[in-house]
Amino acid sequence: MVKFTAEELRKIMDYKHNIRNMSVIAHVDHGKSTLTDSLVAAAGIIAQEVAGDVRMTDTRADEAERGITIKSTGISLYYEITDEALKNYKGERQGNEYLINLIDSPGHVDFSSEVTAALRITDGALVVVDCVEGVCVQTETVLRQALGERIRPVLTVNKMDRCFLELQVDGEEAYQTFSRVIENANVIMATYEDPLLGDVQVYPEKGTIAFSAGLHGWAFTLTNFAKMYASKFGVDESKMMERLWGENFFDPATKKWTTKNTGSATCKRGFVQFCYEPIRQIISTCMNDQKDKLWPMLQKLGVTMKSEEKDLMGKALMKRVMQTWLPASTALLEMMIFHLPSPATAQKYRVENLYEGPLDDIYATAIRNCDPEGPLMLYVSKMIPASDKGRFFAFGRVFSGKVSTGLKVRIMGPNYVPGEKKDLYVKSVQRTVIWMGKRQETVEDVPCGNTVAMVGLDQFITKNATLTNEKEVDAHPIRAMKFSVSPVVRVAVQCKVASDLPKLVEGLKRLAKSDPMVVCTMEESGEHIVAGAGELHLEICLKDLQDDFMGGAEIIKSDPVVSFRETVLEKSSRTVMSKSPNKHNRLYMEARPLEDGLAEAIDDGRIGPRDDPKVRSKILSEEFGWDKDLAKKIWCFGPETTGPNMVVDMCKGVQYLNEIKDSVVAGFQWASKEGALAEENMRGICFEVCDVVLHADAIHRGGGQVIPTARRVIYASQITAKPRLLEPVYLVEIQAPEQALGGIYSVLNQKRGHVFEEMQRPGTPLYNIKAYLPVVESFGFSSTLRAATSGQAFPQCVFDHWDMMSSDPLESGSQASQLVADIRKRKGLKEQMTPLSEFEDKL
């Protein structure tokens, strides 16, 4: 631990070349937090007064209890590097003092929005991979996200101790495992390569890969060993590093390097000979308490132990010895300093990704140069609840300029459009705060390249925002973050005591602010709905809601509510007609399903109301086989004018049709939001207006007559086109050893899931299983799976697609009709569906 005062810390913040902002990302349970803790223990900056308080990253009680990270935590590290170590460093630097702002992020997929927020404000990433489990699902996800944000990665192969203690693999086998892990990671990185960022693949011989044992607090890069041996062999350090990895073999008997295994018993791979074996020897001597052998070995390595440490035995001794010999902090921090970019370097190429405005204006230039004298550009990535109930710190990164206490800033929200006044506020920053361990320290100002928390802006920032100086009216905002998960699991909440309603409302607002992935909405029936990315996420959110945002007022939560979609299977069996209330107008319509993939294209925004009609008709005719002219006759999309349903005009030569278009559109928006089956949104339905008979007097074909009629005829055409329900389906990825597969399959079967991919991880006993699982069935899935596989299988669920339920909701007694009845009951509607005769009229 490094004891600092706020002033001292503030001083280092000015050296923009000596700052590293980095996040630690990995699959869940690969040891991010443990590794971070060992770094913090060595180099963490804490306020002078609270030295000794160790636990740093998992600050919440529930995090410690569950053993997972939920919220990303920022922590500053200080490292003073020796001149000796720096002699190969080519980049710019200002002295030997380095400030490393590290953000530990959660690994569970439910919290990947936290990872997204962390990546935005950092420039480098330490990717942690379990040396046995290798590259997992979430490793790939976060890597992809990181590269998308132009974050340069370095890798650490973690949990090395498992190789030595648990699995006891020999050197060559271990080498093969490691190189496979590294190869897998490199394959992913190569896929998302970006010319501006350059080669992002990692190589042990270049020092961009470390090998670590977070639990025991030791780590090394090949640099460490190369230094050690370079003088011994009398070769250059970099030459030595190359020999320590790859197809380089050394035979101590002949004292010769070869590029092939000569076959002799003493010939071993460089890595095995010089890195793996020495470590293995030390560890085994320690574990066997062969102290007489140990001390001379340590002396040879130049490791001196304190006398009281010499009395330790077994594991404790081993830990101590390894920590002294290969301290994790030195290896990892030097790797970060050498291979991760400083803000000044990173912002040169990140500016394109970050700034929405023209890349040659003063704001882009200031970001590019990381100019502390330039205009303020600050991105607020998350809101952190303050200890003062109901208030938030706005946490973000200064990209250019300085933010100071009392500064008046322009706050550009996510909906801000340059030149307009929407979502724009001017407010002063009450205080600028930096974190020192768990404590917040107020500082005068914070220059670019650093992270900062601000007080007094929480009322004006909803989730994220861009801040500039008050007078910078022509600045464009920094691009909004894109999240990889979406909130699909929903519960209805209500308060136990009715009079707590205002507390609940206030609490929900705060909850929505504190987590970018939570959506608080309201159902038509007046129920408050909280939606989250997964079951775990939701559980945590509701706990926060009750304890932190509502002051402990009790809430009742419903069972998870899954929203369905309504669609049709075929074209309407006949053209249906509805008459207006005054019987003077008639609308004829048919419904048909949209072509495969079209609904998804609308979801993705490839096809939408804002398209150029020519482009749209091109896509529709080429990819979906539409008639070119027909594509021009789309009246609207819906619901909310952008949804995956549409109305197409198929009429020929109908008089006054243009007059009722708006009314039909209004009726369609209404109907597509609340389908005829259970008032769920419609999806993938195309409504064709076949014919229209209108009264000759304009007054009798007004909105009042046509809007309700359009709604009725849409319902009628939906019901006659074999309506079906769509249910949301998760893509589940499970990783488990072979013996657990049986359990996994039986649980999946029981839950209506089906496996579509099963793959053994090369070189491991582990299998990767990919399956589809209906969201409805996913509640309690994790715990059932754990129980069925004695805790060996770990699932990750991400919403994937909508799946049609084959049973007919119109057939009484079918599964779908039961479902419809349940939904209608929950919504307080009549349990019986409105019959077709209510919607369709006869001539």
Binding site for another protein (CB under 8 A): 413, 415, 419-423, 425, 459-460, 462-463, 498-499, 501-502, 505-506, 508-509, 512-513, 519-528, 531, 580-584, 609-610, 613, 634-637, 641, 658-663, 665-666, 669-670, 695-696, 698, 700, 702-705, 707-708, 828, 843
Output the smallest distance, CB 187 to another protein, in A: 38
Q: Are 433 and 457 in contact (CB under 8 A)?
A: no
Output the smallest distance, CB 634 to another protein, in A: 7
Residue number with CB closer to another protein (3 or 827):
827
Residue number with CB closer to another protein (439 or 661):
661
Q: Are 125 and 306 in contact (CB under 8 A)?
A: no
What is the DSSP secondary-structure string of 584-630?
A: S-EEEEEEEEPPTTHHHHHHHTSS-TTS-HHHHHHHHHHHH---HHH
Spatial separation of the C-alpha atoms in residues 200 and 189, rounded to whole Å: 7
Output the smallest distance, CB 83 to another protein, in A: 52
Residue number with CB closer to another protein (571 or 661):
661
Burial class from Cβ neighbours inside 10 Å (0-12, 13-18, 19+) for residue 821 reads middle
| Identity of the residue numbered 636 | C
Residue number with CB closer to another protein (642 or 814):
642
CA 755 → CA 109, 140, 519, 762, 770, distances in Å? 20, 20, 31, 20, 6
Residue number with CB closer to another protein (702 or 774):
702
Residue number with CB closer to another protein (125 or 820):
820
How are beta strands 152-158 and 124-130 bridged, if at all?
Answer: parallel
Residue number with CB closer to another protein (346 or 520):
520
Q: Are 160 and 130 in contact (CB under 8 A)?
A: no
Output the smallest distance, CB 118 to another protein, in A: 22
First-to-last C-alpha distance (Å) of the chain: 86
Residues sharing a CB contact under 8 Å with residue 482, sequence separation 6 or more, in sequence order: 116, 148
Residue number with CB closer to another protein (192 or 624):
624
Residue number with CB closer to another protein (463 or 751):
463
Output the smallest distance, CB 432 to another protein, in A: 21
Longest dimension (CA), the chain: 109
Count Cα neighbours of 675 within 13 Å in the Cβ-side half-sphere.
28
Residue number with CB closer to another protein (79 or 715):
715
Output the smallest distance, CB 486 to another protein, in A: 12
Output the smallest distance, CB 367 to another protein, in A: 26
Q: Which two tokens stand for residue 545?
A: 């809601």
Q: Please give the helix or strand (H or E) that residue 755 lies within, else none.
A: strand 754-760
Q: Which two tokens stand for residue 460?
A: 């004006």
Output the smallest distance, CB 627 to another protein, in A: 19
Output the smallest distance, CB 557 to another protein, in A: 16
Output the smallest distance, CB 659 to another protein, in A: 5
Residue number with CB closer to another protein (61 or 498):
498
Q: Are 157 and 210 in contact (CB under 8 A)?
A: yes
Bridge partner residues of 327 (DSSP):
218
Describe the strand order of the beta sheet including 451-455 as a list of residue ranges: 424-428, 408-412, 465-469, 377-385, 392-400, 451-455, 431-436, 439-443
Output the smallest distance, CB 427 to another protein, in A: 9
